[in-house]
Structure 1
Amino acid sequence: MQTIDYKGPVLTRQTFLRAGAGGLLAFMAGASLEAQAAKNIKVGFILPNFDQLRWRNADFAGFEGEAKKLGLTYFSEASQASETVQASQFENMLTRGVDVLILTPVNGASAAALVRKANKAKVPVVNYNFLALNADVDCFIGRDAVQMAESMAQDAVKAAPSGNYILVLGEESTSVAQEERKGYLNVLKPFIDSGKIKIVSEQFNKGWSTELARAQVENALTKVKNDVAAVICANDGTAYGAIQALQAQGLAGKVFVNGVDAEPHAQELIKQGFLTLSNFTDFWQSGVEAASAAAKLANGQKIETGVIVNNGLKDVPWIKIQNFNITKNNLADSAKKYPWWFAAKTAT
């Protein structure tokens, strides 16, 4: 009997069931079974909200484009920054019979309960952007928020190595807001300990609110009689609030202010000199990676990255997304490299 050394794709029970007869014939012919099986894959993508420009114009846009290429059937929801709404959406996705869920948790701590429901239903979960703590997820897609915050704080101390600082932090229940605070303080602590820098206001702002950020900075300016060297912000939205407060006192452009996400409005503020920098993350690529990971998981493949993040329960494969600071010096070059974002119109 002759032995045939077959080097084609490996047929698993899961991919066989997904592919059906047509997919099996394609498999036997050596075609990509993933491409065949993807046509039957249903993916749910749950985002925290569509208020921030990035979620619709970058994350979801990147995901949608890749999902269409892969032939995925997909459903999307935005949770209005509400845990209750997100829990209902999560259960509805499971009821729809999705094969994979991509979850951007509104609250990283409570998301584990949602993930357990998916685990029970044997539905893989891609944890997106905000880390779901103590949750049995299959992979995490996101930037290194600690490193990101460190890079911005380093630029802050170069611009203002001494003086009063205001820390305008984001939504306390998210991993990114917590990690940003950690990264900022990693850099600022030696300056604080030496007395060169003093934190005169530090506050988490619910829902990354522009209005709450403006009120925080207004109160801090009153407290120190406008003697502020830097305002470290959690994202562009909170930076807008900070700049509004500074403008009211004639300080805009005279105080270091950072944002995160490099939204089109933030780009204009950088050009005007009111915003010193904004950190940009390739959220389009995040969305692309989410669609790709969903297709792999639905076909029974594991996500292997060589990089992990521990979420309190387990080491999770981490698909890291690039980020870097945008300033006047690199804005034009970044616009050429990432025209899908830097050429975008400001959403209303």
Structure 2
Amino acid sequence: MSGFLTLRRSLLGAGVIGLAAALAACGSSGGGAAGGGSGKKVYMLLPNTTTVRFVTQDGPKFKAAMERTLPGTKVIVQNAEGDANKQVQQVETAISGGADAIVLVAADPFIAGGALQKAQQAKVPVILYDHDAHGGEAKAQVVFNSLSVGQNQGRDAAKLFGDGTPAQPKVIARIYGNQGDYGTTKYKQGQDQLLEPLIKAGKIKVACATYTPGWDPAKAQSEVEQCLTRTNNRLDGVVVMNDGTAGGAIAALKGQNLQGQVPVVGGQDADLQGIQYILLGYQYNTVYKPFKLQAEAAAQLTADVLKTGEVPKSAVDGYVPNDFMKPGVPAKLLPVQVLHKDTVDKVVRDGVWSWKQICAGAVARTPTCVKELKG
């Protein structure tokens, strides 16, 4: 494994249920108001509204998990709406507002460094949630195994496009996430492990490859539209990095009536639209990251820091580099699961979405929805 991440123990074989039980056991002692939680104030600062999961899933679930883990804690959720400088101002406001801790989903990994330094000067601990942040101190980071995400995405892409030949390679576009993000770097690394051998063998040809500032679906749409123009609509597939960029790619394909004909692979987050597009046949997969599990892990680490000032060594699985801390930010790494058309019911069983929410509009006529709605 590269120097980006040093694992203390492998999480690839860890089950979600076992990890949830471990987190519950870790927080079972002193989790009530008697543990000093009453009156604490925690700010959760989200990066944007375009990555839908942060608004619909992570914010509410963290708030609920924090109340369970440390009752009486006030959680204030704010959103930078894609403006990294605004997020730095929100950190300043949180500090002046009496924050006891900040849970930060960085809008930009490098601009966030200024926020980390301000928090450090004010002695307000920061827990990084999902996104990395460079140039300052953070107590911990709660993140899904990003390399595994990319490997799952790359495995599906290799399965779909690996049957090309040097004489007739499969032509694809690669739409990456926000450049410089730890996640983007690791997703690409994981995808490359499966795709680079096929590219070098001439079985796959990459016609276009570009990063997507701020993970903005509209920018992803523009990128794919340009690639379609450049290739005269001759694309065999699009490999993306999350459901938002997948949605942007599908919007571009719709403009040429190519949705469902050109596979979009590499979804992530199990967004409602992503699940719907999978059932419609527009999107091939999504990497499911149980939001409740991440929220509970972040809540437990936040509670630990509020009570003791430190992150338990038992909670650290590895380190995420941030150009400031050595060997990096202590990280809690969580397992992922890839979903396809025949396994999307997982999000219903986990209570993320209901069939009523999923099976709306044209999606209601898909075989899966016809079956589920009848039941």
* TM-score normalized with structure 2 length: 0.79
* Cα distance, 1:267 vs structure 2: 1.2
Q: Kindly tell me: are residues 90 and 216 of structure 1, through their superposed partners in 2, closer, same or farther at Cα, counting changes over 3 Å? A: same
CA contact 2:157–2:195 (8 Å) conserved in 1: no
Moved more, 105-114 or 313-322: 313-322
Q: Following TM superposition, by how much is the alpha carbon of 1:277 offset from its aligned partner in structure 2, in angstroms? A: 0.8
More displaced 10-residue stretch of structure 1: 178-187 or 77-86 = 178-187
Q: CA deviation at 1:306?
A: 4.0
Change (3 A) 1:33 1:261: closer
In 2, are the aligned partners of 1:335 and 1:343 still within 8 Å (CA)? no
- Residues 175 and 78 from structure 1, CA distance in 2 versus in 1: closer, same or farther, beyond 3 angstroms? same
Alignment correspondent of 1:58: 57
Structure 1 residue 290 and structure 2 residue 298: aligned? yes
Matched, 1:201 2:208: yes
Shift of residue 189, structure 1, vs aligned partner: 1.2
Give, in whole Å, the separation in 1 of the partners of 2:319 and 2:196. 24
Residue 169 of structure 1 aligns with which residue? Answer: 176
Between the aligned partners of 1:267 and 1:319, the Cα distance in structure 2 is 27
Q: CA deviation at 1:339?
A: 1.6
Q: Which secondary structure does the structure 2 equivalent of 1:234 belong to?
A: coil
Alignment match, 1:132: 133
- CA distance in structure 2 between the partners assigned to 1:53 and 1:344 by the alignment: 19
Task: Provide the secondary structure at the position in 1 that maps to 2:353.
Answer: helix
SS of aligned partner of 1:341: coil
Q: Relative to structure 1, is the Cα distance of residues 68 and 134 closer, same or farther in structure 2, using a 3 angstrom cutoff?
A: same
Which residue is 1:239 aligned to? 246
Unmatched 5+ stretches in structure 1: 1-30
Identity among equivalent positions (%) equals: 24
* Cα deviations by residue, 1:182-237 (Å, 9 ceiling, x for unpaired): 22223211111111111111111222222222222122122223222220112212
Instruction: Give deviations 1:317-341, integer Å, cap 9, x for gaps.
Output: 2112232211012112x03431233
What's the offset of the Cα at 1:67? 1.9
- Identify the match of residue 268 of structure 2 among 260, 263, 267: 260
User: Residues 198, 344 of structure 1: CA spacing in aligned structure 2 closer, same or farther, 3 A cutoff?
Assistant: same
Alignment-derived partner of residue 279 in structure 2 = 271
- Partner residue, 2:366: none
Larger Rg: 1
Contact 1:261/1:280 (8 A) holds in 2 = yes
Deviation string for 1:95-150 (max 9, x for gaps)? 11211111111111232222122122222110111111243211110112222011
Q: Does 1:223 align with 2:230?
A: yes
Unaligned runs of 5+ in 2: 1-28, 165-169, 361-375
Q: Which residue of structure 1 lines up, in the alignment, with residue 90 of structure 2?
A: 89
8 A Cα contact 1:60 1:284, kept in partner? no
| Aligned residue number for residue 351 of structure 2 | 339
Question: Secondary structure of 2:147's partner?
Answer: helix
Corresponding residue for 2:191?
184
Deviates more, 1:170-179 or 1:322-331: 170-179
SS of equivalent to 1:51:
coil
* Mapped partners of 1:131, 1:55: distance in 2: 15
After superposing the two structures, state which structure 1 stretch, 246-255 or 103-112, moved more: 246-255
Structure 1 segments of 4+ aligned residues over 6 angstroms from their partners: none
- Secondary structure of the structure 2 residue equivalent to 1:339: coil
Change (3 A) 1:32 1:335: closer
Query: What is the CA distance between 1:93 and its match in structure 2?
Result: 0.6
Supply the distance in 2 between the matched residues of 1:34 and 1:68 (Cα, whole angstroms).
9
Provide the residue aligned with 1:317 in structure 2. Answer: 330
Equivalent residue number for residue 311 of structure 2: 302
Alignment partners' CA distance in 1, 2:355 and 2:86: 33
2:33 is the alignment partner of 1:35? yes
Structure 2 CA distance for partners of 1:154 and 1:182, relative to 1, 3 Å: same
Rounded to whole Å, the distance in 2 between the matches of 1:342 and 1:138 is 36
- Shift of the 34–112 alpha-carbon distance from structure 1 to 2, 3 Å rule, reads farther
Shift of 1:178: 2.8
Map Cα deviations across residues 270-307 of structure 1 (whole Å, 9 max, x no partner).
11111111111112221222222111101114233241
3-state DSSP of counterpart to 2:133: coil
Identify which range, 313-322 or 52-61, moves more after superposition. 313-322
Contact 1:165 1:200 in 2 (8 A): yes
Separation of aligned partners in 1, 2:31 and 2:107 = 35
Question: Where does residue 120 of structure 2 map in the other structure?
Answer: 119
Between Structure 1 and Structure 2, how many residues are aligned? 316
> Is the Cα contact below 8 Å between 1:34 and 1:299 reproduced in 2?
no
Give 1:68 shift. 2.1
Q: 1:141 to 1:276 in 2, by over 3 A?
A: same
Give the match for residue 19 of structure 2.
none
Q: 1:207 to 1:343 in 2, by over 3 A?
A: farther
Task: Give the Cα–Cα distance (whole angstroms) in 2 for the partners of residues 153 and 52 of structure 1.
Answer: 21
Structure 1 residue 34: deviation in Å?
5.8
Instruction: Decide whether aligned partners of structure 1 residues 306 and 190 sit closer, same or farther in structure 2, where only a CA change above 3 A counts.
Output: same
